Amino acid sequence: MTSVTSLAELDLKTVEEFLFHEARLLDEKKWQKWDGLFTTDGTYWMPASVDQPDPLNYVSLIYEDKLLRAVRIERFDNENAHSLQPIPRSVHLVSNVMIDAYDAVSGTCTVNSRFVVFEYRRDEQRIYGGAYIHDLIFDGTDFKIKQKRVNLVNCESALDNINVYL
């Protein structure tokens, strides 16, 4: 990954590279490393409706803190997790990346992007599309994810199993 020399110099390319790197970790099944991108209190959130105000008072498709991510990640390697046998494969495409907000003092930034994910398992390919909203913290060298929000374009529809992190 490119390192950036100062907080003030945060540019789109650096942010993009981070998002591509994050997506690639998922595709390469490096889940522990991927989880390491989150802050200790970082959350992964896939709402069940696009305008959902919060994950506590409304049901979500996924709302996971560190503990729940650890459970999901360990299930990938658990032969008794029957729905993950065989382990699903994925390809994540990330695009249209824009920095919506950046505060050089605190290093917090909000990044908006679009994604397409292909999930493949047992002869079946599923395609998901939507928008990511990453709340990131940048310390001048590295990014950490405070929250990754996944707005699936069809999140309100009656969805079949989703077996991978989008």
Partner 1 sequence: MSQANTIDIEPLLHKDEVHRKVYTDPDIFDLEMERLWHRTWIYVGHESQVKNPGDYFATTIGRQPVILVRHKDDKIHVLYNRCAHKGAQLVGDTSGCVKAFRCCYHGWRFDTDGALLTIPLEGGYDNTGFCRDNPDTNVKKVPRYDSYRGFVFASLSAKGPDLKTWLGGVASSIDNMVDRAPDGELEVTGGVLRYTHDSNWKFFVENLNDLMHAIVTHQSSSQTARIVAKRVMDEKDEVPWAVEIFSPFTNRYSFFEEMGLHAFEYGHSYSGGKVSIHSAYSDIPGYVEALESAYGKEKTLDIFSENRHNTVFYPSATIKGPIQTMRVVKPLAVDKTVIESWTFRLKGAPEAMTQRSILYCTLINSSANLVGPDDYESYHRLQYGLQSEANDWVSMHRHMDQEIVNADGTIEAEGTNDIVFRNQFKAWKQYMSAEDA
Binding site for partner 1 (CB under 8 A): 46, 48-49, 52, 55-63, 66-68, 70-72, 74-75, 78, 80-84, 156-163
When the beta carbons of 37 and 84 are compared against partner 1, the nearer one is 84
Smaller CB separation from partner 1, 18 or 47: 47
Q: How long a stretch of residues is the chain? A: 166
Q: Using CA atoms, how far apart are residues 46 and 153, in angstroms rounded to an integer?
A: 11
Q: Please, what is the minimum distance in Å from the beta carbon of residue 77 to partner 1?
A: 10
Name the token pair of 119.
């999930």
Of 134, 105, 115, 146, nearest to 10 (Cα)? 105
Shortest approach of partner 1 to residue 65 CB, angstroms? 8
Closest by Cα among 165, 139, 141 to 152: 165
Cβ 78 to partner 1 shortest distance, Å: 4
In whole angstroms, what is the distance from residue 86 CA to residue 66 CA?
25
Residue 2 or 161 with smaller CB distance to partner 1? 161
